Structure 1
């Protein structure tokens, strides 16, 4: 294949040189090629049957640092955000342990989320998790997967990842939009949120933080931080993703396409890191916490310990509802 390519290249060079001499051009072929390259970089337009917005531009003359940034910064970044946060939480739980209910489970289940809220959560959460996994493979899989498998297997994996990534983008956008609009009212900052951060939410089981139970409303300060990160950084993921997913609709310039790749990668790194924290807090760190997004109900002692302000409010106004 290399020999054939070299032969074709020599033939093309000879033809190009011959045409230049036939036209009485005194400049060598190299000089003519340099002039052609100069004209292309200057924006010289050609003729093509393509209908894209920038079809008459032969090369991309934008900032060349955008392309290496993907490999030099984004790929290591998403690996660190994902595997690094997993490692941090495993170490933290090994040293600190989980946050247990001090009064144990009461057996009384308090209504917290509607069935619609639970459904919307999973419509956004499952695609988000799949997008993180497939995005990790697409962006950095060549570093930690490709070297250990055959080219055929890697080709199949990366093709499947791209298809899943594109398909899961749609339900993620729907979930992100609905959650952001419907849940914002319960995510507004409060004065007691500062105290929550000062004692790390009461999740530390040693030293002066042990046994602390800071005030929290329907959402605690950590959940609020996650929500607004998901809302605003998620918007960057969605907008940049739309540019990349629907180029025929958006008709971006090459500059916008490259910028969308970088913005999408940076935003994905942030979402991935916060998602790992959210998953560990819900499934492992907080005893009884996962039940909220399975049935929509939480144990009464869990509500008192982790969301006491909210529990006192619904008890006082008569909206406290137990599971039958």
Structure 2
């Protein structure tokens, strides 16, 4: 037994010393014994999730061998299959294809796996937290505050809050967004619960329908975004009244508190500008996805951001050279990230505009709101409307 113990200890110490000697002072494995190929240390490092320097592969694609380059795709070429694979993987191969599309010559897209792993992993996980967190906040708010009622006595008179064109723009924007959000979520999560219910063929039909709706209703969404912006941007410029509204919490947390507000209060202005900024951003990334390889957005954007020095402060250096496929992957990831935030904001907006506040839905339902509701939630706007009506009734007719 002692002999066996001595042998095991000796083997362990010998292996440890060999592992130490196989790396240089900077921790780079010595590939002399493998002819420059991958070592055991490279494999173990990848298994541990550590970043491995691939320069020994990307810079060793057989490009210095002219004779090899001439015959690398022939049956008698002297370049090894490994060299050919590396040249294809790292984009240094001389590739000729019949299709002349911008991405046709990229036969192997080396960055595809990070996108797939991020899309099916952290992107969905944290996106789910965002939506579930907003739903939890709304439920908690409802339990603590309840439905926001009209405190004063109803007058029986109504005031025109939004005309028909304003309501058309709103519902075009909102309705298309709801369908886009639903079809997008089905695309992300559908296979998890729909394949067990409908099978793969059934899910394929549903997924294809979601794709068609998502692609085509995007135009309605963008048109609605333009109409909403034109209609209401002048009413959503921040002013001092908004500070008073914010200081009082909008009266949302205290019964009987009704801070003054114009046509849009500070909370509605926050939602408006969030919809505009997120709407423009998600539209740009959506257009990039609708027209593949025609609208690259991220390489130029990352170059500008890098020039500010901000990424370097956090130890980052954003890539500025991307293949067409990488551009599409970044566009898809950004599209989904913005969508998660957008959906969470709209969920809160839907709650307050419907079951969360008495009389609020009438503003977009019929366009007419109870006068007392307007007095409590938009007193300054109501005063402006009444002054205009009073001016019309007192003006003498032209003779």
Q: TM-score, normalised by structure 1?
A: 0.82
- Give 1:23's aligned residue: 76
Match for residue 210 of structure 1 among 255, 259, 275 = 255
- Give 2:89's aligned residue: 41
Cα distance in structure 2, aligned partners of 1:279 and 1:320? 36
Deviations 1:283-306, CA, capped at 9 Å, x for gaps: 111100101111111111111011
- Give 1:168's aligned residue: 217
Q: Which deviates further from its counterpart, 275-284 or 84-93?
A: 84-93
Tell whether 2:112 aligns with 1:55.
no
3-state secondary structure, aligned to 1:212: coil
2:296–2:327 contact (8 Å) kept in structure 1: no
Tell whether 2:278 aligns with 1:233.
yes
- Give 2:174's aligned residue: 125
- Give 1:275's aligned residue: 346
- Give 1:313's aligned residue: 384
Relative to its length, the structure with more helix (as a share) is 1
Residue 312 to residue 263, structure 1, CA distance change in 2 (3 Å)? same
Q: Which has the larger radius of gyration?
A: 2
Cα distance in structure 2, aligned partners of 1:58 and 1:104? 72
| Deviation of 1:166 (Å) | 1.1
Tell whether 2:138 aligns with 1:85.
no
Residue 114 to residue 129, structure 1, CA distance change in 2 (3 Å)? same
Runs of 5+ consecutive residues of structure 1 not aligned to the other structure: 1-18
| Deviation of 1:70 (Å) | 1.5
| Deviation of 1:149 (Å) | 4.5
Tell whether 2:366 aligns with 1:298.
no
Residue 85 to residue 20, structure 1, CA distance change in 2 (3 Å)? closer
- Give 1:16's aligned residue: none
1:93–1:285 contact (8 Å) kept in structure 2: yes
The number of equivalent residue pairs is 294
Instruction: Map residues 115-154 of structure 1 onto 2, 5 A cutoff.
Output: 115-154=164-203
